Structures are given as C-alpha cells and as structure tokens.
A and B are shown apart, each in its own frame.
Chain A
C-alpha cells in the first residue's frame, strides 16, 4: 500500500474528503429534508475518526472508548431529534 494511504495520512485524507462532501451537501446538495441527516452522519463519521485515530481511543481502555463514542452517538441522535422533531416538541418562539 502506498505510504500516503497508511495512517495517520489515510485518516487525514478521509477527513478532507468528508469536509468537501459536507460542504457540497450544505451549500447545494439538492437533498431537501435529507440534508440534515447527511450532515449529521458525516459529522459523526469525522468525529469518530478523530477520536479513534488521532486521540488514539482505538487503543485505549474499552471503558474510555465507550464513553467518548457514546458521547458522539448521543449528541448525534439528539441533534437529529431536535432537527426533525424540534418544531413538534418545542413551543413556538415569540
């Protein structure tokens, strides 16, 4: 495998590609309602790469890995809920 496809270079490359994808989806993805889900999903993937490969949680005690990965899942889930169900769950402003 070429050297630039080995970590940490591979992780960096995926993060750059994911950033470009989020940018495209956010600006003019033409995805309508799905844009939120796609944006949150890509953010979750990027976050996971940073904590596992850059912060080295892949080789950390399992409890710490679960706590931080759990935080990522929880925040992503709550953001999805707020994005899609927010208008129904929350009182109207003003």
Chain B
C-alpha cells in the first residue's frame, strides 16, 4: 500500500495559479495546437474552393461511427480527470480504475477507426482519391498516432498507479499524461465536425 507522504490536495483550494504537469509539456501542446490550427483553417479554405467534391466525399463517411468515437474520447477525458482528482485526494485505489476506463475507451476509438479505414480501403478509397480524402486520411492518421501514443502513456501511468504511485505527493506524471490526453480529445473536437459534419 502507498505511504501517504503528503496531505490530500483539497479540490476547492484557492491555490496559486499553476499549470498541471510538466511545464515543458505545455510548449509541446502549444506547438501541436498551432500546427493543427493551420490544418483546420486550410481544410475550411480548400473546402470553399471545392465545395461539391468535399460535400460528396464527406457523405461516404459513417457519421454514427464519428459520433461514437467523439463520445469515447469525451468520456475517456472525463475518466482521466477523475483519476487525477482521485490521486490528489490520495484515493490511490480509485486511480487505476479510472485510468483503465480511459485506456479501454482509447482502444475502442482505435477499433472503430480500424473498421472505418478498412471500409474505405475496401471501397477503393485512399489518401489520393481527392482533396477531401487527402485531408481526411492525413489528419485522422496523425490524430490516431496521438491516440496510440496517449494510450501507451496512460498505460504506463496505470501500471504505476496500480503500485500506489499516484497520490497527492507525486502528481507530475499523471498530470502530464492527463494534459496530453485532453489535447488528443481537444483536437478530435475540431476534427469531428470539420470532417464529418460541416456542410
């Protein structure tokens, strides 16, 4: 069982302003946001030039699967927030349970994406089909890479949490992993409406 070296951090503490996790990570987050931001704007710009192509190709996507994956990522972010809160409260047994749920939802996202890609490839649709699919495959594959990376990070933290390593006195690792996971969620919050819904 963990030795609780630090008092729990009250959830309502009026503490000094701080960034969760490793401060250096936030520069990576900013770089990611600037890069993806340019892609998002470029997508809308190219769509304006080839609206008919984008609208027609978009209709071949399965919107229901897109919504399901959005719900998976939103809920996994909630689970990660809950894991961080449990760690701060020194409820060390709850931390791995919430993380396991988040990891399971991350894996579910990958499974849905696998079926989506398979259906497209089976229909002869690929990255080179048209401008819409250039964006669709490039953006979702880069994003999927982030989902895979984030799930690996969460799995490492889960393994440590099972040994009782995530508590109020040792928050940096779990906060860093959580922040990256929320970035993955945030990027999908843009990708889903742009690729699946925008008419």
Q: Do the two chains bind?
A: yes
Size band of the interface chain B makes with A: 35 or more
Contact of A55 among B51, B70, B182 (CB under 8 A): B182
Q: Is B135 engaged at the interface, CB distance under 8 Å to the other chain?
A: no
B45–A90 CB distance below 8 A: yes
When the two chains form their complex, are residues A61 and B18 in contact, meaning their CB atoms are under 8 A apart?
A: yes
CB contact list, B153-199 vs A, under 8 A: 179, 182-183, 185-186, 189-190, 192-193, 196-199
Check if A43 sits within 8 Å of B199, measured CB to CB: no
B177 to chain A minimum Cβ distance, whole angstroms, is 12
Given A8-B82, A79-B41, A47 contacting B74 (CB threshold 8 A):
no
**In the bound complex, how far is the Cα of B114 from the Cα of A64, in angstroms?**
36
Residues of B within 8 A of A83 (CB): 44, 47-48, 198
Cβ < 8 Å to A, chain B residues 21-72:
26, 29-30, 33-34, 37, 40-41, 44-45, 47-51, 63, 67, 70-71
On chain A, the residues within 8 Å of B30 by CB distance are 67-68, 71
In the bound complex, CA of A58 to CA of B42 (Å): 29
Q: Does A60 contact B (CB under 8 A)?
A: yes
Report B-chain residues with C-beta under 8 Å of the C-beta of A23: 63, 67, 197
- B78, A60: Cβ atoms under 8 Å? no
The answer to whether B197 touches A92, judged by C-beta atoms less than 8 angstroms apart, is: no
Contacts of B140 in A (CB 8 A): none
Q: Taking the nearest CB of chain B, how far is it from the CB of A31, in angstroms? A: 9
Whether B81 pairs with A54 at a CB distance below 8 angstroms is yes
Are A26 and B45 in touch, CB under 8 angstroms? no
A75–B37 CB distance below 8 A: yes
Given contacts A50-B77, A55-B179, A74-B37, contact A86 B18 (CB under 8 A): no
- Fill in one digit per residue for B66-90: 1 if any A CB lies within 8 Å of its CB, else 0: 0100110011011011100100000
Report A7 CB to chain B, min CB distance, Å. 8
Q: Are B26 and A43 in contact (CB under 8 A)?
A: no
Closest residue of chain B to A57 (Cβ to Cβ) is B19
Q: Does A16 contact B (CB under 8 A)?
A: yes
- In angstroms, Cα B178 to Cα A51, docked, is 12
How many whole Å from B158's CB to the nearest CB in chain A?
Answer: 18
Q: Bits for A59-92, please: 1 = Cβ < 8 Å to B, else 0.
A: 1111010011001001100110011001100111
- Kindly list chain A residues whose C-beta atoms are within 8 Å of the C-beta of B3: none
B28 CB to closest chain A CB, in angstroms?
13
With known contacts A8-B82, A50-B185, A43–B193 Cβ distance under 8 A:
yes
CB distance from B129 to the nearest CB of A (A): 16
Cα A82 to Cα B40 in complex, Å, equals 10
Question: What are the 9 tightest A-B residue pairs by CB atom distance, in nearest-first order?
Answer: A86-B48, A26-B197, A82-B44, A12-B78, A8-B81, A82-B45, A93-B49, A75-B37, A78-B41
